[in-house]
Structure 1
Amino acid sequence: MSVDPAKQGISGVRRASRLSVAPMMDWTDRHCRVLHRLLSSETLLYTEMVTAPALVRGGALHLLDHSAREHPVALQLGGSDPEELAAAARLGQTAGYAEINLNVGCPSDRVQSGTFGAVLMKSPALVAECCAAMIDAVDVEVTVKCRIGVDDQVPEEVLPEFIAQVGAVGVERFAIHARMAWLDGLSPKENRDIPPLNYPLVMQMKQLFPALHLSVNGGVDSLDQAEAFLEAGLDGVMIGRAAYHQPADMLCAADRRIFGGTAPDTTPEGAVQAMLPYIEAHLAAGGRLHQVTRHMLGLFAGRPGARGWRRAISEGASKPGAGPELVEAALLHVTERCAA
């Protein structure tokens, strides 16, 4: 897939962020992003979080690997050192990413120990300094993904002050996960579910900062819900686990419903067929089938034959010699049920 130049500039990426797939550790790798791009040509995709120290000190530039077919795609960075983040952002721009996003939302212990992620909600001045350094270092847009607050903070007080300070240095686009992060007492998994969602607060931020581009994240599990947020005045919607576990439901109609496209909606069956050459190339380069197909398990969620599809892929993809023919055979569980 060639890269549309219109999707590469700031305005193009900002348009794409009307709907985006959240950065998710261990999930939104390059294989997942290729699959999602086959389902939607417009939706903005994000990498997994890549730490600035890994790139700058560790030289792990392979973490930036991606293909042109994934665009528009953004790089999410984790870190808290302005100079290091600036250097990492330059590496990301050189690698071809259309946006650099700073993680101020991840609640994992590993992230806390490195003084970045959600714990940075306590240090808006530092976040502003980091963002200013990245903005000076690159030509692509620098954005922030944050929580509404952490631990004993009062979101109604903390979030507007955070946005004001970080926005003052030139950040114009924020994705706000509408939950607190409880760093003391909850696991990262629990932090994705237990803190209650506060969508009204995110809506209030749009009223307070009308010039900023604000996306809501957290708990969005349908295109109906995404459309409702956009109609209510938000600039974008970022979807997470629903896009991974039910990718067809969230992405196949997105180009038409969210972006006003006129092309026919994509189908999961079509995506499977389109993935076969990609899988062949991955295997020829020494990869394993399960590295790709693990992201495809939810393609037919809720459809007749979905269980047979998942079982065939789960049980067979890790076996030595497994290849595209396994995927084609697994697809029969769906297509034959539909034809019956």
Structure 2
Amino acid sequence: MRQHSDDLVEVLAGSFERELTVNVFHGSNRMLENLRFESWSLDADLGRNIPHQGTGAVVYTSVDGESLVPVGTEGVLSPFRARIEPVMTIRAGDFSESVSLGTFRVVAVPFALDSTTERDGRTLVVGSRVGLKFESLESSIARWGFRFPEQSEAGASAFGEIRRFTSMPVEVDVDDVALPAVKPWEAKQGGRLDAVLELGRTLGGSAVVNSRGAWHIIPDAIGEPVATLTLGEMGTVLDVADEIDTDTVYNEVVGIFEDAAGKPLYAVESVTAGPLSVDGAYEVNTRYYSSDLVKTQAQANSAVKAVLDQSIGSQKYDVQIQCHMNPLLEIGDVAALEGWRRPIVGQVRQISLSDSPLMNVTLRVERELT
């Protein structure tokens, strides 16, 4: 979740007003602050390599006739240099608190215009309106390619490699993993980001930059809820709990690997008892799995068992929710929904925020099969 006070959680459960402004940075230098931001939206999707994408318009009142319209690489809002920090301020009575939604890279200016007036024979700028498209900081790593093929040595820390490849802060919020084998990384378009995302999978989840500007790992497993969503009278839920899809429920996993000398390694793990047994009415549904990080028979056996356990332990399905705005929520958070006909707890996979009082959220919920 984004940083907040305990009082803010209580305020968000009731009636409140909100306002979004942006601060503008060049590197670590804050160039402008508290700019009006209108017609904005911010979408987050855990399934994208660059999860956060947004748009909006900066509205600026000129002080001394200056313009905020960028020209090429020049101008405080030029996409060649600008980063923005959207800040949402929540007010209720005497209460007021601001929440940073994170720092984002400006990637395009789709439109820009100045309002002018004539005075003493001169044309003066009285204000500017500049449209912005922006993305989360994963985009900087996607743009920064390897100059030459890289290599991670066997035994290297996965978190340490993420830190080395990105030169960004890293929050160690799951157990670190030592890479079991030498891992080469290809010098290609987007190769540095691909390496970081694969290291995240090695750590048991998804590597994402959070609102504090640090890389962290969102675990695949759904844990205990850290937030509560309020449905309210205007809220909607598209609940597909009655929909069952067996295509991804595998009761047998076949692993195909190579050892350090390039010789093949095989491992098989099957369900042999219960309603999902390979000898039962469900019959056999086989998944094939490989990984170049597996180099021994013990690692192969462990890998296929983990994949099988994940398959039969639960089936995940998505619930689409429209609920009251909660700016504290981030993708990867586990949230509980209040006000629905049955309890729903799931991992936040998608969030759509805008200047609407409602937001759209996709929760990934587990259905137990055993």
The TM-score with structure 2 as length reference comes to: 0.26
TM-score, with structure 1 as normaliser:
0.28
Structure (1/2) with the larger strand percentage: 2
